[in-house]
Amino acid sequence: MFKNVFGSGFLVRTAHVVLTWIITLILFLYDTELRKQEETGQLLQPVLFVLLVLLSVLLYFAVSLMDPGFILSEENDLQFTLGVTEEQQDMIPPSTKSLRQRRCGHCLLQQPMRSKHCQTCQHCVRRYDHHCPWIENCVGERNHRWFVLYLAVQLLVLLWGLHITWTGFSYAPSWSLWLRSNGVLLTVCALLALLALIVLLLLGSHLYLISMNITTWEFMSRHRISYLKHCGADENPFDRGASPNLWGFFCEWGSVVWEQVYFREGNDPV
C-alpha cells in the first residue's frame, strides 16, 4: 500500500516537515496570541493548532507514500481492461471510431481507460490525475480524495497560522526598528500567504474538475487522449452532474470500470 519512505522524495518530504515545524515553533516563540494563551494557561487553541498541524503532516505522508493506483500486473487487473459487453458494442454506430485496447509502450501492460504511464514513477496509474512534485508521488484513483482532504486541512492550517502571525507584530517608532523586531514574523507571514494562495488555487481547481468528473491530465491534454479527442469541446462522457460526481468521488469506494460508464446508454461513443 505504501511506497518506501526513503525513496526519491525523501529530501522533499523532509524539507516539508522541517519547514512546517520550524514555522510552528516560531509562532510559539514570538509574542503571538498562541504564546500569550500558553503563558496564561489557556491551552485549548494552542493544543488544537498543534493537533491540526500534526494532522496535516500525517495526511501529507499518507498521500505521498500511498499507492496511487499502480497497475502492476495484467493478471490482477483483468477487470479493468476494456469492459464493453457485446450489447454495448452493438450500440456503437459502424461509422464511428471504436476504441481499442491500449498497451503501455513502457511497461507493456494493458491500460484501463483513464490510466496513464507516469515517467517519474515508472508505472501506469489508474484514473491518473497528475504527478505532484510537492508530494513526490502520483495522484490517482486510490489517493486522489486523500490529496484533496490534505489540501483542505493544509489550507486551514495556513490561514490559521497567518492569523496567528498577524497577532505577533509589535509596534516600533521607526521602520528600521520595526523591521528589525518583526523581520522573522514578516518573512513567515509572506511565506504563509504565498503557500495559502497556492493551496487555495489547487483546492479550488481540483474541486472544480471533480465536480465535472474530469482529471487534470484529461483537462490539459484532451486533444491528445484517444477517448476524448473526438468529443466536443464541452462534452465529457464521464460527467453525471455536479452532485453525483462529487458524491461518487468522496463517498463511493472501490474501482470503477470506466469503459462501462463511457459506453453507457445515451452516450455517443467515439
Catalytic positions, written as ranges: 132
- Cell (9 digits) for 270: 467515439
C-alpha grid cell for residue 166?
498577524
| Residue 205: all three cell numbers together | 481547481
187 to 72, 165, 190, 193, 248: CA distances (angstroms): 45, 10, 5, 10, 41
Q: Which amino acid is at 128?
A: Y
Q: Which of 160, 166, 185, 189 is nearest to 45 (CA)?
A: 160
Q: Residue 131: what are its φ and ψ, rounded to 5°?
A: -100, 120
Q: Which is nearest to 164 in space by CA: 5, 28, 15? A: 28
- In single-letter form, the type of residue at position 183 comes to G
Distance CA(121)–CA(123), nearest Å, equals 6
Can you tell me whether residue 105 is helix, strand or coil? coil
C-alpha distances (whole Å) from 82 to each of 49, 70, 78, 87, 106 are 48, 17, 9, 14, 19
- Tabulate helix, strand, coil % of the chain (nearest 5): 55, 5, 40
Neighbours of 267 (CB within 10 A): 16
